[in-house]
Structure 1
Amino acid sequence: MFILWFWLLITVSGDLFRRHDVSGWGKVLWVIFLIILPYIGIFAYLLTQHRGMAERDQARAKQMREDLRSVVGFSVADELEKLDRLKASGSISDEEHARLRAKVIG
């Protein structure tokens, strides 16, 4: 139980401190709430901020993918060309090609 609580505390704290829409005072209040009532504080944060946490995680993952692409030098067009070659060689099925293509574009 302690490991689960500690993991949630790290997740909530990471999300809280990466947010730009919460003022410094708001962050201080959340931290105080998390310290004084740790279990209730974590559950309250998860219940009130769950949708925003998921959206921020998705945006952060997308940004990381774009940053990696810019550093490595691969573009979406390069990845689509590779997918087409894999499909033409028969390494992947039409369904896999469609799924991967949507993932690359999206």
Structure 2
Amino acid sequence: MTADTTLAYDYPLLGVFWSMLWVFLWVIWIFLLVRIIVDIFRDDTMNGWGKGGWLIFVLVLPFLGVFVYLLARGKGMGKREAQHALAQKRELDSYIRETAGAGKSSEVEELARLSEIKARGDLTEEEFQRAKEKILH
């Protein structure tokens, strides 16, 4: 072995903890920066110049920009996030209602056509019951 070789046990436990802490803080910082940039673009009350100004401020002076943004507009971030989640829920509920309702209306239409055919006398009662069972199951 040479004198330049560093072994795993040469790295103290406190050094591992300190490195993990810095990595954790770096990940949180990136997450916070992305959340603020998303919030800048999500805000409907700001015009384009305001969004551009905040974006440049946050990207050019990130620590100061994020701190000032959180102080100035932090309370609204939670409200905008809640509104966005509520809008997504409404859209999902609407989609589910449309999709579920489409299948029911077609079954109702088929049963109505079947009863019209039976009323004309083209189907017997037994054929009508078999066709109705196929539609409902």
- Normalised-by-shorter TM-score class: 0.5 to 0.7
Q: Which amino acid aligns with 1:34?
A: V
Structure 1 residue 56 corresponds to structure 2 residue 80: yes
Q: In structure 1, how many angstroms separate the alpha carbons of the residues matched to 2:48 and 2:61?
A: 20
Q: Which has the higher contact order (CA 8 A, sep 6+)?
A: 1
Q: In structure 1, how many angstroms separate the alpha carbons of the residues matched to 2:56 and 2:88?
A: 31
Question: Which residue in 1 is equivalent to 2:37?
Answer: 13
Q: Offset at 1:37?
A: 1.1
Structure 1 residue 45 corresponds to structure 2 residue 64: no
Aligned length in residues:
74
Contact residue 34 and residue 41 of structure 1 kept, 8 A: yes
TM normalised by structure 1 equals 0.64
Q: In structure 2, how many angstroms separate the alpha carbons of the residues matched to 1:63 and 1:28?
A: 25
Question: Which residue in 2 is equivalent to 1:66?
Answer: 90
Question: Which residue in 2 is equivalent to 1:4?
Answer: 28
Which structure has the bigger radius of gyration?
2
User: Over aligned residues, Cα RMSD in angstroms?
Assistant: 1.4
User: Which aligned runs of 4 or more in structure 1 are off by greater than 4 angstroms?
Assistant: none
Q: Offset at 1:64?
A: 1.0
Contact residue 5 and residue 39 of structure 1 kept, 8 A: no
Q: In structure 2, how many angstroms separate the alpha carbons of the residues matched to 1:70 and 1:35?
A: 38
Structure 1 residue 35 corresponds to structure 2 residue 59: yes
